């Protein structure tokens, strides 16, 4: 039995305080009419109904416990602000427009731990540092503007117009309806152009075809589907192809996802509000949940390991090494991309080739042959996807594999 979280803002006045919940449902703030300051009452857990008596507030939490707090005007509530440390080294909350990007939903903690956790359970890249850009609210929803703002912040963390301090990798386990020309996909393309490697979840709208979510539809993203621990494609993993009309109203096709990784019953850290406590694993600090959201940080972690071996690794080269060494699981490219990631192969390849993979500019007529020489079908390899106009080649595959005219 869960606790109902109000979706509409409410406010209660008591003494010289106004207690209220905002659009980010579940979070209670108090406004001190004397000091004219807002303070956050429950930064670590979401609330349902609450009541106040003088300066005392009690609320029913999502963990079905009742919490009470007595407001103290002499207490420095800034102590509860997010403490950036050696693991999480920076961030911003675009939902509440502050420097306090606490995870009040739970999803972000789990994916971050999968990519870079360094506790009892180790993430894929335990030495990696994290920038926490919060773009979804406590209910797991948000606006396109928040998402794009987070992407742009990753490109220019200090906002000075100099992109040289950009993050190395964007790991984004979210999505919605869209196509390669929509604003979120374009924002990811721009981030890659600035030097970031973007790893994006394919979505959980399988088993239907043509269900890849944006910004996983970005041309330059590494888009990730999910498998279980027996290398079976997860039933929920979104499938390609991505088919859309361009600005000239001509139909275009792109093969996605690019690769798959484990995304079923993944055990990783849970947030302090413990939203999935009934799905515990290992101990009461970890939960096992599923989704392409869980597969994505596996790939982001692998990319971090590749960057560790070669700091100058480009997005193009990272995508090449990941896809070139992937194990074919026998599914269509529109279901598995190149296959399941082979970490050791990717690392050995980057050490051998020193990560020096350049974009190849070839005539469109050579698209199919060039891709085959690199062990890829036309339209799947990024040379065909991003560098060359392979319209005729893609239409040939579309007709053959998907029965479309």
Catalytic residue positions, numbered: 63, 107, 293
Half-sphere exposure of 127 (CA within 13 A, CB side): 7
Mark 311-335 as b/e (b = at least 16 C-beta within 10 Å).
Answer: eebbbbbbbbbbbbbbeebebebbb
CB contact at 8 A, 152 and 193: no
Widest Cα–Cα separation across the chain: 77
* Rounded Cα distance, 206 and 358, in Å: 34
- Judging by DSSP bridges, how do beta strands 169-172 and 197-201 pair with one another? parallel
Per the CB < 8 A criterion, the answer to whether 124 and 298 are in contact is yes
The token pair that represents 7 in the structure block: 């979706």
How is the beta sheet containing 266-269 ordered, strand by strand? 266-269, 283-289, 280-281
- Burial (0-12, 13-18, 19+ Cβ within 10 Å), 188: buried
């Amino acid at each position: 039995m869960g606790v109902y979280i109000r979706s509409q803002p409410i406010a209660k006045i008591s003494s010289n305080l106004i207690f209220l919940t905002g659009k980010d449902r579940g979070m209670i703030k108090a406004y001190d009419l004397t000091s004219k300051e807002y303070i956050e009452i429950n930064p670590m857990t979401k609330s349902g109904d609450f009541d106040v008596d003088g300066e005392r507030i009690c609320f029913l939490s999502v963990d079905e416990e009742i919490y009470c707090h007595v407001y103290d005007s002499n207490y420095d509530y800034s102590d509860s602000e997010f403490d950036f440390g050696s693991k999480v080294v920076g961030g911003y909350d675009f939902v509440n427009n502050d420097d306090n990007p606490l995870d009040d939903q739970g999803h972000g903690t789990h994916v971050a731990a999968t990519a870079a956790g360094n506790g009892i359970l180790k993430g894929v890249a335990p030495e990696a540092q994290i920038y926490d850009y919060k773009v979804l609210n406590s209910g797991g929803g948000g606006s396109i503007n928040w998402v794009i703002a987070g992407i742009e912040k990753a490109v220019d963390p200090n906002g000075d117009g100099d992109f040289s301090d950009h993050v190395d990798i964007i790991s984004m386990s979210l999505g919605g309806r869209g196509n390669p020309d929509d604003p979120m996909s374009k924002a990811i393309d721009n981030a890659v152009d600035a030097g970031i490697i973007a790893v994006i979840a394919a979505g959980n709208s399988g088993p239907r075809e043509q269900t890849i979510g944006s910004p996983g539809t970005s041309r330059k993203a590494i888009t990730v589907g999910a498998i279980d621990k027996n290398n079976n494609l997860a039933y929920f993993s979104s499938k390609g192809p991505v088919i859309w009309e361009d600005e000239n109203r001509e139909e275009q096709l792109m093969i996605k996802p690019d690769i798959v990784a484990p995304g079923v019953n993944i055990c990783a850290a849970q947030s302090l509000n413990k939203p999935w406590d009934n799905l515990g694993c290992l101990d009461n600090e970890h939960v096992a949940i599923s989704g392409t959201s869980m597969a994505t940080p596996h790939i982001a972690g692998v990319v971090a390991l590749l960057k560790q071996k070669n700091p100058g690794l480009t997005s193009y080269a990272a995508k090449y090494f990941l896809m070139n060494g992937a194990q074919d699981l026998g599914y269509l490219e529109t279901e598995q991309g190149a296959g399941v990631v082979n970490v050791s192969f990717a690392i050995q390849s980057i050490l051998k080739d020193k990560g020096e993979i350049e974009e190849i500019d070839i005539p469109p007529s050579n698209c199919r042959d060039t891709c085959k020489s690199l062990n890829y079908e036309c339209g799947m390899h990024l040379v065909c996807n991003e560098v060359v106009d392979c319209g005729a080649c893609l239409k040939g595959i579309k007709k053959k594999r998907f029965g479309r005219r």
